[in-house]
Structure 1
Amino acid sequence: MLLLRPTPPASMKIARQFLAVGPILKSGHSAANRRGCLRCFSGVGNAALGKKYRAVVVGAGPAGTAVVGNLLEQKQAPILWVDDEFHGGRLDNNTKVKRFVSYAEGVSPFREIFKETPEPNAYSHLKSLEQENTCYIAQAADLCVMLTKGLDQSKGVYKQLGRVSDASLSETSGWTVRLNPSGDKNAGPTEVSSDIMVLCTGAAPSSGPLPVSDIQEIGLDPALKPSLLQTIIPSDSPITVAVIGASHSAILVLRNLYNLGRSTHPQLRIKWFTRHPLRYAEERDGWILRDNTGLKGDVAIWAKENLEEDRLPASDVSRYLEKVPTTRDKEEAVYKEHLPACTHVVQAIGFTRNEIPALKRQGKELEIKYDNTAGGFEDKDGKKVKGLYAAGIAWPERVVDPEGNVEYAVGLAKFMNYLKRVVPNWNAN
Structure 2
Amino acid sequence: MLSRSYKAIVIGAGPGGLAVMKSLLDVGLSKVCWIDKSFKGGRLNELYREISSNTKVGIYLDAVDSSATCRRIIDSSSKPNAMTELEKIDRDDTCQLSLAGDLIEMLEEGISKNEGVEKIKGEVEKVQLKGSTWFIGLNNHPSPLTTSRLFLCTGSQPIIPSFHLPYNPNLKILDLDRCMVKSTLPALFPKDKKSIVGVIGNSHSGVLVCRNLFEIHQEKQRELKILNFARSKIRYAIYRDDGGIVFDNTGLKGDTAQWSKEHMDNPTEDVQEVIEQIDISSKEEEVYQDRLKECTHLIYAIGYQPNTYPKMVIDGKEVNQDELIFDQGTSEFRVDGIKKVNGLYGMGIAHPEKSQDPEGHVENNVGLAKFFKFAEKNQELWKEE
User: TM-score, normalised on structure 1?
Assistant: 0.82
1:249 equivalent among 197, 205, 209: 205
Partner of 2:371: 415
1:176-187 correspondence to structure 2 within 5 Å? 176-181=135-140
Q: Which one scores higher on RCO, CA 8 angstroms, separation ≥ 6?
A: 1
Which amino acid letter does the alignment assign opposite residue 303 of structure 1? S
Distance 1:351 1:381, change over 3 A: closer
**Identity rate, percent:** 38
| CA deviation profile, 1:105-141 (whole Å, cap 9, x unmatched) | 2311111111222111111111112222211122211
Note if contact 1:122-1:146 (Cα within 8 Å) is conserved in structure 2: yes
1:303 equivalent among 235, 256, 260: 260
The 1-side partners of 2:238 and 2:127 are apart by: 43
Q: Aligned pair count?
A: 371
The 1-side partners of 2:264 and 2:337 are apart by: 48
The 1-side partners of 2:102 and 2:190 are apart by: 31
2:284 equivalent among 320, 326, 331: 331
Partner of 1:79: 32
Which amino acid letter does the alignment assign opposite residue 150 of structure 1? G
| CA deviation profile, 1:230-280 (whole Å, cap 9, x unmatched) | 222233321111111010111111111111111133521111111111111
Q: Which stretch of the first structure deviates more once superposed, 196-205 or 289-298?
A: 289-298
1:156 equivalent among 116, 120, 134: 116
Note if contact 2:230-2:280 (Cα within 8 Å) is conserved in structure 1: yes
Which amino acid letter does the alignment assign opposite residue 72 of structure 2? E
1:16-415 correspondence to structure 2 within 5 Å? 47-48=2-3, 51-91=4-44, 93-172=53-132, 174-181=133-140, 188-209=141-162, 210-211=164-165, 212-265=168-221, 267-284=223-240, 285-308=242-265, 311-312=266-267, 314-327=268-281, 330-366=283-319, 367-380=323-336, 382-415=338-371
DSSP 3-state at the match of 1:270: strand
Which amino acid letter does the alignment assign opposite residue 287 of structure 2? V
Task: Give the drift of 1:204.
Answer: 0.4
Note if contact 2:24-2:383 (Cα within 8 Å) is conserved in structure 1: no
Which amino acid letter does the alignment assign opposite residue 417 of structure 1? K
Structure 2 residue runs of 5 or longer lacking an equivalent are none
Note if contact 1:235-1:264 (Cα within 8 Å) is conserved in structure 2: no
DSSP 3-state at the match of 1:386: strand
Distance 1:427 1:377, change over 3 A: farther
Compute the RMSD of aligned alpha carbons. 1.8
The 2-side partners of 1:203 and 1:154 are apart by: 28
Note if contact 1:387-1:427 (Cα within 8 Å) is conserved in structure 2: no
The 1-side partners of 2:15 and 2:91 are apart by: 20
The 2-side partners of 1:100 and 1:236 are apart by: 44
Which amino acid letter does the alignment assign opposite residue 77 of structure 2? T
Note if contact 1:196-1:427 (Cα within 8 Å) is conserved in structure 2: no
Which amino acid letter does the alignment assign opposite residue 91 of structure 2? Q
Structure 1 residue runs of 5 or longer lacking an equivalent are 1-45, 182-187
DSSP 3-state at the match of 1:264: coil
Task: Give the drift of 1:397.
Answer: 0.4
Task: Give the drift of 1:405.
Answer: 1.8
Task: Give the drift of 1:418.
Answer: 1.0
